[in-house]
Structure 1
Amino acid sequence: MPTIRKRGAKWQVQIRLSGSPAVSRTFPTKSEAVAWARATEAEVHANGTSTMDSSRPSCPVTLRQLLERYRDQVTPRKKSRRHETCRINKLLRDAISDTAADAVTPGMIATFRDKRLKSVGSQAVIHDLVLLGQVFRVAMNEWDLGLPENPVSKVRKPKQPSGRVRRLTSDEFNRLTVAGQSIMAGDIVGLMCFALETAMRQSEILNLLWADIQWTSRTLLIKDSKNGTPRVIPLSRKAIQILEGRQGLKLKSPFPYHVRAVQRAWDATVGDAGVDDLHFHDLRHEAISRFFEKGLGVPEVALISGHKDMRMLLRYTHMTAAEIAKKLD
Structure 2
Amino acid sequence: MATIRKRGNLQWEARIRKRGYPTTCKTFDTKAEAEQWAKETEATMGKGQYVSAKEAEAYTLAECLDRFEEEYLPRLKDPRREIYRIDRLKRRTIAHRIMATIRSKDIADFRREREAEGVSPNTIRLDLALLSRLFNYARSDWGMESLTNPVALASKPKLPTGRTRRLEPGEEERLLAACAPEFALIVRFALATAMRRGEIVGLRWEDVDIMASRVRLNDTKNKESRTVPLSREAKDVLQGLPRHLSGRVFPFCPDHLSAKMGDACRAAGLNDLHFHDLRHEATSRFFEHTDLDVMEIKAITGHKTLQMLARYTHLRTANLAARLDGAKRGEVRRK
The answer, yes or no, to whether TM exceeds 0.5 is yes
User: CA-to-partner distance for each residue in 1:164-184, whole Å, 9 max, x for gaps?
Assistant: 211022433233223222xxx
Verify the 8 A CA contact 2:56 2:99 in the aligned structure 1. Answer: no
Secondary structure, in 3 states, of the residue corresponding to 2:272? coil
Relative to structure 1, the CA distance from residue 98 to residue 171 in structure 2 (aligned partners, 3 Å threshold; closer, same or farther) is farther
Task: Provide closer, same or farther for how the CA distance between residues 45 and 318 of structure 1 changes in structure 2, counting only shifts above 3 A.
Answer: same
What does residue range 32-181 of structure 1 map to in structure 2 within 5 Å?
Answer: 32=21, 47-50=35-38, 59-79=57-77, 81-118=79-116, 119-145=118-144, 147-181=146-180
- 1:80 Cα shift? 5.1
Deviation of residue 131 (structure 1)?
1.4
CA offsets 1:113-167 (integer angstroms, 9 cap, x no match): 1222342332322222221111011112211236442222211223343222110
User: 2:301 aligned with 1:305, yes or no?
Assistant: yes
CA contact (8 A) 1:206 1:255 kept: yes
The alpha-carbon distance between structure 1 residues 90 and 189, as it changes in their structure 2 partners (threshold 3 A), is farther
Return 290-299 or 117-126, whichever deviates more: 117-126
Alignment of 1:157-306 (within 5 A): 157-181=156-180, 186-247=181-242, 252-295=247-290, 296-306=292-302
Distance 1:177-1:51 versus aligned 2 partners, 3 A rule: same
Partner secondary structure for residue 151 of structure 2: coil
**2:56–2:146 CA contact under 8 A, matched in 1:** no
Q: Retained in 2: the 8 A contact 1:213–1:219?
A: yes
**Separation in structure 1 between the aligned mates of residue 141 and residue 32 of structure 2, nearest angstrom:** 29
Give, in whole Å, the separation in 2 of the partners of 1:172 and 1:319: 15
What 5-or-longer segments of structure 2 have no aligned partner? 1-13, 26-30, 42-52, 329-335
**Which structure 1 segments of 5+ residues have no match?**
1-22, 38-42
| CA distance in structure 1 between the aligned counterparts of 2:83 and 2:199, rounded to whole angstroms | 20
Rg bigger for which structure?
A: 2
Counterpart AA for 2:192: E
C-alpha offsets along residues 53-110 of structure 1, whole Å, 9 cap, x if unaligned? 8x96983322112122212321221235233233323322322222222222211100
Q: Secondary structure at the match of 1:48?
A: helix
Question: TM-score under structure 1 normalisation?
Answer: 0.78
Alpha-carbon separation, structure 2, partners of 1:285 and 1:129: 27
The root-mean-square deviation of aligned C-alpha atoms, in Å, is 3.4
Instruction: Report SS of the residue matched to 1:96.
Output: helix
Q: What is the alpha-carbon distance in structure 2 between the residues aligned to residue 160 and residue 102 of structure 1?
A: 29
The answer for the alignment partner of 1:318 in structure 2 is 315
Deviation at 1:308, TM superposition (A): 2.1
Query: How many correspondences in the alignment?
Result: 293
In structure 1, give the amino acid aligned to 2:274: H
State the AA in 1 paired with 2:273.
Answer: L
